[in-house]
Protein backbone atom coordinates (compact mmCIF):
# COMPACT_ATOMS: atom_id res chain seq x y z
CA UNK A 1 0.00 0.00 0.00
CA UNK A 2 1.22 3.46 -0.79
CA UNK A 3 0.29 6.78 0.71
CA UNK A 4 -0.56 9.10 -2.15
CA UNK A 5 1.22 12.36 -1.59
CA UNK A 6 1.33 13.11 -5.30
CA UNK A 7 4.61 11.72 -6.53
CA UNK A 8 6.39 14.64 -8.15
CA UNK A 9 7.89 13.97 -11.57
CA UNK A 10 6.63 17.15 -13.19
CA UNK A 11 8.92 19.54 -15.05
CA UNK A 12 8.35 22.39 -12.59
CA UNK A 13 9.67 20.35 -9.67
CA UNK A 14 12.86 19.15 -11.36
CA UNK A 15 15.16 21.93 -10.11
CA UNK A 16 13.80 21.87 -6.57
CA UNK A 17 14.04 18.07 -6.37
CA UNK A 18 17.59 18.13 -7.75
CA UNK A 19 18.63 20.61 -5.05
CA UNK A 20 16.98 18.53 -2.33
CA UNK A 21 18.47 15.30 -3.70
CA UNK A 22 21.99 16.79 -3.60
CA UNK A 23 21.62 17.47 0.14
CA UNK A 24 20.22 14.04 1.00
CA UNK A 25 21.73 10.73 2.10
CA UNK A 26 21.77 7.50 0.11
CA UNK A 27 20.45 4.34 1.75
CA UNK A 28 24.04 3.09 2.17
CA UNK A 29 25.09 6.36 3.82
CA UNK A 30 22.20 6.12 6.28
CA UNK A 31 23.63 2.72 7.23
CA UNK A 32 27.11 4.22 7.68
CA UNK A 33 28.70 2.69 4.57
CA UNK A 34 31.60 4.55 3.01
CA UNK A 35 33.32 7.61 4.37
CA UNK A 36 31.38 9.75 6.90
CA UNK A 37 29.67 12.73 5.28
CA UNK A 38 27.56 15.66 6.42
CA UNK A 39 24.86 17.11 4.21
CA UNK A 40 22.53 20.10 4.45
CA UNK A 41 19.54 18.08 5.61
CA UNK A 42 21.42 17.27 8.83
CA UNK A 43 21.18 20.95 9.81
CA UNK A 44 17.40 20.70 10.34
CA UNK A 45 16.55 21.07 14.02
CA UNK A 46 13.75 18.57 14.53
CA UNK A 47 12.91 15.17 15.91
CA UNK A 48 14.26 12.23 13.93
CA UNK A 49 17.51 13.78 12.74
CA UNK A 50 19.09 12.53 9.55
CA UNK A 51 22.75 11.65 9.98
CA UNK A 52 25.33 9.47 8.29
CA UNK A 53 25.11 6.05 9.97
CA UNK A 54 21.88 6.74 11.88
CA UNK A 55 20.32 3.37 10.93
CA UNK A 56 23.33 1.42 12.21
CA UNK A 57 23.09 3.34 15.49
CA UNK A 58 19.40 2.47 15.82
CA UNK A 59 20.12 -1.17 14.92
CA UNK A 60 22.89 -1.37 17.52
CA UNK A 61 21.03 0.46 20.29
CA UNK A 62 17.59 -1.13 19.88
CA UNK A 63 17.55 -4.54 18.17
CA UNK A 64 18.22 -6.43 14.95
CA UNK A 65 15.87 -5.11 12.27
CA UNK A 66 15.26 -1.82 14.09
CA UNK A 67 17.19 0.19 11.48
CA UNK A 68 14.90 -0.99 8.68
CA UNK A 69 11.80 -0.41 10.80
CA UNK A 70 12.99 3.09 11.73
CA UNK A 71 13.66 4.03 8.09
CA UNK A 72 10.32 2.55 6.97
CA UNK A 73 8.44 4.43 9.73
CA UNK A 74 10.15 7.79 9.08
CA UNK A 75 9.33 7.58 5.36
CA UNK A 76 5.76 6.31 5.90
CA UNK A 77 4.89 9.06 8.41
CA UNK A 78 6.44 11.74 6.20
CA UNK A 79 9.17 12.83 8.64
CA UNK A 80 11.67 12.06 5.90
CA UNK A 81 11.15 12.15 2.14
CA UNK A 82 12.89 10.15 -0.55
CA UNK A 83 13.82 11.39 -4.01
CA UNK A 84 15.02 9.12 -6.80
CA UNK A 85 14.46 7.74 -10.30
CA UNK A 86 11.57 5.45 -11.18
CA UNK A 87 12.78 2.22 -12.80
CA UNK A 88 13.10 1.37 -15.56
CA UNK A 89 14.85 4.69 -16.06
CA UNK A 90 14.05 6.20 -19.44
CA UNK A 91 16.39 8.58 -21.28
CA UNK A 92 15.76 12.10 -20.05
CA UNK A 93 13.78 10.94 -17.02
CA UNK A 94 13.78 13.27 -14.04
CA UNK A 95 14.03 12.82 -10.32
CA UNK A 96 10.76 12.02 -8.57
CA UNK A 97 9.56 12.25 -5.02
CA UNK A 98 9.19 8.60 -4.03
CA UNK A 99 5.69 7.74 -2.79
CA UNK A 100 5.36 6.53 0.78
CA UNK A 101 5.25 2.73 0.82
CA UNK A 102 3.79 1.14 3.94
CA UNK A 103 5.89 -2.01 3.50
CA UNK A 104 8.90 -0.52 1.74
CA UNK A 105 11.89 -2.63 0.81
CA UNK A 106 15.37 -1.15 0.58
CA UNK A 107 18.54 -1.80 -1.38
CA UNK A 108 21.84 -0.30 -0.30
CA UNK A 109 23.92 -0.93 -3.43
CA UNK A 110 21.56 0.84 -5.85
CA UNK A 111 20.16 3.06 -3.07
CA UNK A 112 16.73 1.66 -3.90
CA UNK A 113 13.25 1.87 -2.38
CA UNK A 114 10.31 -0.13 -3.63
CA UNK A 115 7.35 -2.27 -2.72
CA UNK A 116 7.79 -5.24 -5.06
CA UNK A 117 5.82 -3.49 -7.81
CA UNK A 118 7.44 -0.07 -8.20
CA UNK A 119 11.15 0.53 -7.69
CA UNK A 120 13.11 3.78 -7.35
CA UNK A 121 16.90 3.87 -7.58
CA UNK A 122 19.56 6.48 -6.94
CA UNK A 123 17.46 7.48 -3.94
CA UNK A 124 18.52 10.13 -1.46
CA UNK A 125 16.62 10.83 1.76
CA UNK A 126 16.11 14.30 3.23
CA UNK A 127 14.26 15.56 6.28
CA UNK A 128 10.78 16.82 5.30
CA UNK A 129 11.46 20.14 7.06
CA UNK A 130 14.39 20.70 4.71
CA UNK A 131 11.79 21.09 1.92
CA UNK A 132 9.99 23.95 3.68
CA UNK A 133 10.36 27.37 1.97
CA UNK A 134 12.60 29.67 3.97
Q: pLDDT truncated to tens, each residue of the chain (134 aa)?
A: 455 554 555 555 778 899 999 999 999 999 999 888 888 888 888 777 788 888 898 888 888 889 899 999 999 999 999 999 999 888 888 899 999 999 999 998 889 999 999 999 999 999 998 887 65
What distances in angstroms separate CA 108 from CA 20, 71, 130, one per listed residue? 20, 12, 23
68: number of Cβ within 10 Å: 16
User: Which pTM value belongs to this model?
Assistant: 0.85
Helix (H, G, I), strand (E, B) or coil at 30: helix
Q: Which residues pair with 85 in a beta bridge?
A: 121
39 contacts 24 by C-beta, under 8 angstroms:
yes
The whole-angstrom separation of Cα 122 and Cα 124 is: 7
Predicted pLDDT at 21: 93
What integer pLDDT is reported at residue 122 of this predicted model?
95
Question: Pairing mode, if any, of strands 96-97 and 80-86?
Answer: antiparallel
Q: Can you give the pLDDT at residue 43?
A: 83
Helix (H) or strand (E) holding 81: strand 80-86
Residue-level pLDDT at 65: 85
| 112 strand-pairing partners | 107
Whether the CB-CB separation of 133 and 33 falls below 8 Å is answered with no
Amino acid sequence: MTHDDTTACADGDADRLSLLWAEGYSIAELWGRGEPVTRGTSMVEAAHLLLWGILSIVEYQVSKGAGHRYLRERLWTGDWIAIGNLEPKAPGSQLCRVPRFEHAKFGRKASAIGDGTAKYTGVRVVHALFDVPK
